[in-house]
Structure 1
Amino acid sequence: MKSLKTPILPSKLQFVKQHAAHELNFKAICIFAATGFFLDDDTYWKDEACLLPGHDHIFDENNFLIESKPWFKWHYTPKSISFEQALDEYINLFTTITKEQVGENPVILPLSGGLDSRSQALVLKNLNNTVQAFSYSFPGGYPEHKISKQIAEVCGFDFDAYKISKGYLWNDIDELAEINKCFSEFTHPRQMSVLKELKQYQGVFSLGHWGDVLFDRGAPDGIVEKDIIPLLLKKMLKPGGLEFAESLWENWNLEGEFKTYFISRIENSLSKIKIDNISARVRAFKTSQWAHRWTTMNLSIFQAAHPISLPYYDNRMIEFICTIPEEYLADRRLQIAHLKQDKAISKITWHEQKPFNLNNYQYNKSPYNLPYRVFHKIKREFNAVIGNPYIQRNFELQFLGADNDKHLKKYIFNDDFFKLIPKSVIEEFYNKFKNENTVYYSHPTSMLLTFALWNKHFHNK
């Protein structure tokens, strides 16, 4: 026998065989259809498992998984320290981890208008590494790359801005299927549009994934025990996802009801997290579930270009989070206090609170933000009239328009795919996307495309 220890939050998923029938795991696939990610160790197959994070895994002589035991248990053990002490610990730890992870390599830094990559930029600004920053935005969308460029200029980084082109995925969709193994739906990984350009850089990626969850409330203030499951359902179920999963469940003649099964799975996973504080418990659940099965899966695209480093994924960062009082983590307090130590960086627009910055974002409410909102509403409506609609969602680039529609139908309407998902189900949700509510049914449409690619590349292999 042999064993393998997984990090608290792995940067790469590992799939192994286990002793079970080689059959499709239809119930797990229904959860994937509803949420966009698998739960726990689920995969498409009953005899395949994704190694759980923070576990010691035992294998038999044939490399089949036979047992998994947690070596790490999420906890909430807040230290009796001041906010200033917590801030110092955070900055020192963040700097130490970043420095260790990137070493002396050139750094490739994806920048956004948010706080996570901006925090990385502030740390990297004070190191000796060469930094190549980049960002991307939608044509016709909010020019987030302009915020990123300002951050890069303040920090003295080289910077490239990219536009995510309409229908960018169709030329690379088969490559993406091989990269992410169809464990993530296809309209979110915008970096796939610039993968060729990213491969031209030199160095190691420093990625800011999951900082926004670790350094914020896990649940809204005042939430009580009975509200946890409804909250998680609201967070996890994508628009149209429940309806789509229930349709698959019924057509695959599965026992019971999908929603009942889904809730039981959430309850079972949540019960393993022995934390009384609800905010901390929900954060732990989010991290062990969709950080692990959704966020991590999409890291594979960066890994296809260069090695990656993730300061927020480091075991020490997770342990640190478990010891910090919730009131210090809430509302991004630690990150904001860190960034406000640099006056130039703190004055740059915070995308989530645009047009305000870290010094005045508390004014992002009526009547203070009314002029901005009115002006941009008029601007969007004018651009739509002249044929330049405002783009704010990934699927709008990928599914809208005659050419995109032609590509989409080529993948989801074919006889081989009908063997997995009935043609009637595909027609129902495609027609709802086209004729009823494009936004609401964009997720089921994206999942249909994901399943079609999985069926093409992996089902019969």
Structure 2
Amino acid sequence: MRKGFSIKISDKKTDIKSFISGEYDNLYLQTEHFDFLLEGVLLNKKKLLTEYALKDFETLIREIYTQKKQRLIQEFEGEFRGFIWNRKEAKLYVFTNPTSTQRVFYSKFRNEIFIDTSLVRLNKTLLSSGITTTPNLESIYQLLCFSNLPERKTPIENIAKLLDGHYLEVNFRDLSFSEKEYFNLSEIPVFKGTKAAAVDQIHEIFAQSVIMEYQKDTELGKNHLALLSGGLDSRVAMLYAIKNNEVPGNALCFSQSGYFDHTISEKIAEDFGIHYEFIPLDGGNFLKKIDELTEISEGMVFYTGGIHVKYAVEKMQYEYFALFHSGQIGDGVLGGFNTEPKRKKPSNFKMVVNHHFLPEVEKSLDDILKNYETEELFLLRNVAYNRTVLGAHVFQEKRYQTSPFMTRDFLKLAISLPEEWKFSHRFYIDWINTHCKEATNYRWERTLMKPNAHWKTVFGDQFMKRGFKILNEKILKTPQHSSMYPYHFYFDNNTEIQRYYQQYFDENLHRIESYPELYNDVKKLFVSEDFHSKSQAVNILSVFKLYF
């Protein structure tokens, strides 16, 4: 689906192109004093209309802008991006949402500023303007080392991604620009109350977030669809909806057949009378959609992180819904990003996935780490927002994805909680055992145990899950049963996929011949025995094919 907008600014003129449709809450308002464009879904649109005692969205924007100018962005909740052009002050404000799931890119070449919601389209615009783009080799090695790009980085030299919770301020008079923050979690003070009070408060905020999401479906005249797996986050989100009389019309799961994500989610849906749709990933033929996923990820994230999602979206049958309701990043913000039960500076924990390439990017990583006081805030941006959300971008090809764990109020409360509470998901377990007991009646895919006691998290991680993998992979020789999507098994047992990858590699290796070190590194990766290394090699070639 064609989406977004592009802007080109020079000292002579400003060229704005809008590609937004009439769906969701999209609006392009042009007035004498200001222009306003918003693309996306505002979960709190109805609430804002009520608060300002207004009936239509256009009048609402005019009213809030009159009162708050560019600070109106702080009023929004949901999946959105857009811009405000203050004609009187000759300034442009381009914004993304607090979690940057709605990307915006920008650059400056030859005293011209280019802004676009699509990196692929921006690259084509630059090329058509006679500007030669080149790969950012540091970014390429960061992709190999981290599996995603950190901070503002993109695969293209001199092009940046707008950070989460920021807007880009452009001055038309001197063509200067700078990023400014409008949502800052680092300023949130530590929670001062008791743990019991925090459990009750997170229950209330989470319930409000879930209700807001589900009522948006109703506002849009559609039914509800919940993503459901064997994990905690998706089940808690769906069960909170049911507890608040917002019953999904469909629960969607995709996994290797018979794996815990399949069996656990199916049992939950059956017990609560929810229509269940399961998409089996068996065989892995979808692994051939390399270029399609690289274009969706825009070379910002390792393509295998969303390739199975693409297959599920293509195969799903249920259509009468407005949003994919998920539990995205829940375990991360409630303990997954805490390595110790105390506040500490970040390290390369969870960021580095291929240590072989760490020497190539270690200095740049150290420079990034220095900007963070806590590992939690570093990982929230660089793993949750910059890596995990690839699935959301894939879903967005069809519908927007939302998560009650990603609303501003939930994030602020989660970040404020003491690390010693959240460590090893202790607070998470306390919360659901107090306010969502039904979620603990089923095993947790991560631990293979019911999440009804703190000790089960550690015991399950270290013994149950590890033992299960050893049993299937080493003893029973059934690795297909040890993962939601056992890519390595699919590759090893499908000669068609093997031939496809070999052909793809052979046909595209020439694209990096001008970079001898990278050329040799990619060749070494591809001749490795494991699929992960081969796919890393192919991913780099796909990025070069897309842009250069």
1:157, CA displacement in angstroms?
A: 1.6
Q: What SS is found at the alignment partner of 1:135?
A: strand
Instruction: Check 1:215–1:65 CA distance in 2 against 1; reply closer, same or farther (3 A cut).
Output: farther
RMSD: 3.2
Q: Counterpart in 2 of 1:251?
A: none
- 1:444 corresponds, among 523, 528, 533, to 533
- Asked if 1:258 corresponds to 2:375, the answer is no
Pair 1:99-2:214 in alignment? no
Q: Supply the distance in 2 between the matched residues of 1:454 and 1:329 (Cα, whole angstroms).
A: 38
* Distance of aligned partners of 1:425 and 1:358 in 2 relative to their CA distance in 1, 3 Å threshold: closer
> Following TM superposition, by how much is the alpha carbon of 1:262 offset from its aligned partner in structure 2, in angstroms?
3.2
Partner of 2:303: 186
Q: Of 166, 182, 195, which aligns to 1:83?
A: 195
Partner of 2:395: 302
> C-alpha displacement at 1:18, in angstroms?
3.1
Deviation at 1:303, TM superposition (A): 0.6
The Cα shift of 1:343 comes to 4.3
Q: CA deviation at 1:88?
A: 1.5
Where relative contact order (Cα < 8 A, 6+ residues apart) is larger, the structure is: 1
Q: Distance in 1 between matches of 2:417 and 2:464?
A: 39
Does residue 48 (structure 1) correspond to residue 142 (structure 2)? The answer is no
Match of 2:333 in 1: 214
Please identify, of 35-44 and 24-33, the stretch whose mean Cα deviation from structure 2 is larger: 24-33
Look up the SS of the partner of 2:304 in the other structure.
coil
- Residues in 2 aligned to 1:375 and 1:397: alpha-carbon distance in whole angstroms: 16
Report deviation, 1:321.
2.0
What do the CA deviations read for 1:174-230 (whole angstroms, capped 9, x no partner)?
Answer: 3323322232212222212212233643211112111111111633336786xx45x
1:325-349 deviation per Cα after TM superposition (whole angstroms, max 9, x unaligned)? 3333333234323432444431211
5 Å-filtered alignment, 1:39-188, equals 39-61=150-172, 66-73=177-184, 74-103=186-215, 104=218, 105-131=222-248, 132-139=250-257, 142-170=259-287, 172-188=289-305
| Partner SS for 1:233 | coil
Distance in 1 (CA, whole Å) between partners of 2:380 and 2:463 is: 36
C-alpha deviation, 1:390, in angstroms = 4.2
AA aligned to 1:38 is: L
1:11–1:313 Cα contact (<8 Å) kept? no
CA contact (8 A) 1:184 1:450 kept: no
Gaps of 5+ in 1: 247-256, 276-280
Q: Is the 8 A contact 1:219 1:282 kept in 2?
A: yes
The answer to whether the 8 Å contact 2:488/2:532 transfers is: no
**Secondary structure, aligned partner of 1:12:** coil
Note if contact 1:346-1:358 (Cα within 8 Å) is conserved in structure 2. yes
What is the deviation of 1:37?
Answer: 0.8
Contact 2:446 2:465 in 1 (8 A): no
| Structure 1 counterpart of 2:375, one-letter code | V
Q: Does 1:9 align with 2:99?
A: yes
Shift of 1:72: 3.1
SS in 2 for 1:235: coil
Q: CA deviation at 1:363?
A: 4.8
Counterpart of 1:358 in structure 2 is 451
Cα distance in 1 for partners of 2:297, 2:173 equals 26
Percent same amino acid among aligned pairs?
Answer: 17
Partner of 1:235: 350
| Aligned CA distance change for structure 1 residues 427 and 111 (closer, same or farther; 3 Å) | same
1:36 to partner: Cα distance: 0.7
Provide the C-alpha distance between the structure 2 equivalents of 1:374 and 1:322, rounded to a whole number of angstroms: 33
Counterpart amino acid of 1:56?
Y
Say if 1:404 and 1:182 are closer, same or farther in 2 by CA, change over 3 A: same
Paired residue for 1:348, among 419, 442, 445?
442
SS in 1 for 2:106: strand
What SS does the corresponding residue of 1:346 show, helix, strand or coil? Answer: helix
| Structure 2: 5+ residue stretches without partners | 1-90, 111-131
Distance 1:26 1:343 in 2: 50
1:373–1:181 CA distance, 2 compared to 1 (3 A): closer
Question: Which residue of structure 2 lines up, in the alignment, with residue 404 of structure 1?
Answer: 497
**For residues 245-394 of structure 1, what are the structure 2 equivalents within 5 Å?**
245=357, 258-267=360-369, 270-271=370-371, 273=372, 275=373, 281-340=374-433, 341-354=435-448, 356-360=449-453, 362-363=455-456, 383-384=476-477, 390-392=481-483, 394=486
The 1:65/1:321 distance shift into structure 2, 3 A limit, reads farther
Does the CA-based 8 Å contact 1:10-1:313 persist in structure 2?
no
Distance 1:389 1:359 in 2: 28
TM-score, normalised on structure 1? 0.81
1:147-176 superposed Cα distances (whole Å, 9 cap, x missing partner): 111222233321122221323325533332
| Alpha-carbon shift at residue 52 of structure 1 (Å) | 0.7
Q: Say whether the 8 Å CA contact 2:136–2:157 is kept in structure 1.
A: yes
Q: Is the 8 A contact 1:33 1:444 kept in 2?
A: no
Deviations 1:272-298 (A, max 9, x none): x4x4xxxxx111111122222112233
More strand by share: 2
Asked whether the 8 Å contact 2:341–2:423 carries over to 1, the reply is: no
Change (3 A) 1:111 1:64: farther
1:252 aligns with none
Match for 2:503: what amino acid? Answer: K
